[in-house]
Structure 1
Amino acid sequence: MRRVLVPTDFSDNALNAINYALEFFKYEICVFYFMHAYQDDIYTNEALLTRKTLEKATNLVSKKSKKQLEDVLKIVKEKHPNPRFTYRTISSNNVLVDEADKIVDNENIDIIVMGTQGKTDNRKLTFGSHTLQVLKYVECPVLAIPRNYKYTQPKHVLFPTNYLIPYKRRELKLLCEMLAPFRARVDMLYVAKSDKLSMRQEDNKAFIEETLYKNDTHFYTVNKKHVSEAINDCIAEYKIDMLVMVNTRHSHLENILYQSSIDKISLNVGIPFLALQNIKRDNF
């Protein structure tokens, strides 16, 4: 049974991510956890908030959150009736990243699905601040869906790697099983001046090939100076439907996510983006 956490702020972007998740997992038996962490909403008008009115404001926001989750559940059941699915709603007076982290641990979540942007919808940024925090700090694979992306079956997947990291079998198995119903092609992209690999790299490459046994997997080497440029070129040229990267020490994705400012991210993700989490992140 697949356990899927779907955080929502009830924006159009969040609803779009929900629709994508329900289509993407329609062949699997799934439990969906629709979660709204509303602590930030309580303090939206902090200038008008006092200790006396805090409890009242919290109750109002809590009731609104639960009602909106009920509305989401009603829409989901009407638009995506599926006997394989069961649903749970979670309304929490917490910040998003902390609540997501707690649910992932308590419910043994397999994957988080959310929009690349939330209500603020800053189109100049690849990821909104909440999505970026989840990507960086929650120990769980994250599938981020771009704004207005219309669901299409993932037939061609790009997976850039340097073959230096020992992948988690559970996460590669997750990728394998998710893509198998679509008979997707997976292109493993190695950006380097030479396709000669070390013994460690050869072992990790063999492990990938062994674990993705249900998928049509191909291995390529591209000579480019900038990894982001190579990825963007491949996405455009080969009509890639999904991008997969691993977030760990010294990986391509860490170099992108941990630049000094999020507006410096040079990866222009216009397709669903799956970030695998290879090690536990530092607390922040």
Structure 2
Amino acid sequence: MKTILILTDFSDPSLNAARYAAGLSSELNTSRIILYHSFLPLPMATELPVPPPLPSEDPYGRSNRQLNTLKDELSVKLSERVHIETRTGEGPFVSSVMTLVRDENIDMVVMGTSAKGTLERIIMGSNTLELIRKCKVPLLVIPPEAKYKPVHVVAFASDLKDVSDKTPVLKIKPIIDLLNARLLVFNVSEEGVRSFHADLIKEQKELHERWGTESVEYHYVNHKDIAEGIMRFAEDNNVQLVIVIPGKHEFFESFFHRSISKKLAYHTRIPLLIVNTE
């Protein structure tokens, strides 16, 4: 993970995500961090000691000033070998991020979730779900209450559908190796679903073969709500990072919308690493 792109709007959740990413960067052997802000109108509630904008200050200048303030804060926490750069933009959010990912050879994108309202309001606005689906590199989503600590246990959630085509082992394995973490591969099925019919057994076999001889633990659990079942499994097994694939199971939509209970939504502190299969 040589280069990490951190998206920020200077809200408290996005600043928390930036601080989390700074801590994680040492585990990922990161040497370059890019801080990006799109200065389209967004609500801001910064806790950084930034003076109010001058009446004559243009959005570009204000964005750069706040980025440099965040850069100075993170620089104190990072080793000298990590170089921090800043970027601003005012074009369409998703396409701007995708251009940065391509042109700057980004290995991972980091963003935060909103602490206000429901989880369907995520920082960066309504384009976030589109970004999650289109981002070609791993996208790390940090809940507002998540605080960085070394990652020792990682869980990968599989829905056991089209495992051979939709299990991005080659994208996940390098991250697990860098973290030197224990990997739990698990499936959550709705209560009452039979776990031993022929098609499911075939997918389970394929799942094991995809990981080969890697040191992986497999778990198969039942829960009435798949989204909640995934997060309960993570909490019960002291997981510090959950890996999910967008569009593969109900958890993806549930986590970012209202079908997951408010209690779980507000109290989950486990970051999500979203990995596309393309």
User: TM-score scaled by structure 1?
Assistant: 0.76
Q: For residue 217 of structure 2, give the secondary structure of its aligned residue in structure 1.
A: strand
Instruction: Please tell me whether residue 86 in structure 1 is matched to residue 80 in structure 2.
Output: no
Matched residue type, 2:36: M
Q: 1:163 aligns with which of 137, 144, 160?
A: 160
Cα distance, 1:92–1:238 mapped onto 2, change above 3 Å: same
| Greater mean alpha carbon deviation, residues 5-14 or residues 224-233 | 224-233
Q: 1:97 aligns with which of 91, 94, 99?
A: 94
Does the aligned pair in 1 maintain the 2:112–2:123 contact within 8 Å?
no
Q: Percent identity?
A: 24
Per the alignment, residue 35 of structure 2 pairs with 34
Q: How far has the Cα of 1:115 moved from its partner?
A: 0.9
Cα distance, 1:244–1:58 mapped onto 2, change above 3 Å: farther
Q: How far has the Cα of 1:89 moved from its partner?
A: 0.9
Alpha-carbon distance in 1 for matches of 2:230, 2:252: 15
Does the aligned pair in 1 maintain the 2:188–2:220 contact within 8 Å?
yes
Alpha-carbon distance in 1 for matches of 2:74, 2:41: 25
Does the aligned pair in 2 maintain the 1:135–1:142 contact within 8 Å?
yes
Q: How far has the Cα of 1:204 moved from its partner?
A: 3.5
Q: How far has the Cα of 1:63 moved from its partner?
A: 0.5
Per the alignment, residue 7 of structure 1 pairs with 7
Alpha-carbon distance in 2 for matches of 1:232, 1:88: 34
Per the alignment, residue 75 of structure 1 pairs with 73
Per the alignment, residue 179 of structure 1 pairs with 179
Alpha-carbon distance in 1 for matches of 2:70, 2:223: 45
Per the alignment, residue 226 of structure 1 pairs with 225
Cα distance, 1:265–1:107 mapped onto 2, change above 3 Å: farther
Moved over 6 A (4+): none
Does the aligned pair in 1 maintain the 2:227–2:252 contact within 8 Å?
no
Q: For residue 20 of structure 2, give the secondary structure of its aligned residue in structure 1.
A: helix
After TM superposition, the structure 1 = structure 2 runs for residues 43-192 of structure 1, keeping only pairs within 5 Å, are: 60-80=58-78, 82-117=79-114, 121-125=115-119, 128=122, 130=124, 131-164=128-161, 165=163, 166=165, 167-180=167-180, 184-192=181-189
Q: How far has the Cα of 1:84 moved from its partner?
A: 3.1
Per the alignment, residue 24 of structure 2 pairs with 24
Q: How far has the Cα of 1:148 moved from its partner?
A: 3.1
Matched residue type, 2:37: H
Matched residue type, 1:263: R
What is the total number of aligned residue pairs between the two structures?
251
Q: How far has the Cα of 1:59 moved from its partner?
A: 6.9
Cα distance, 1:278–1:62 mapped onto 2, change above 3 Å: same
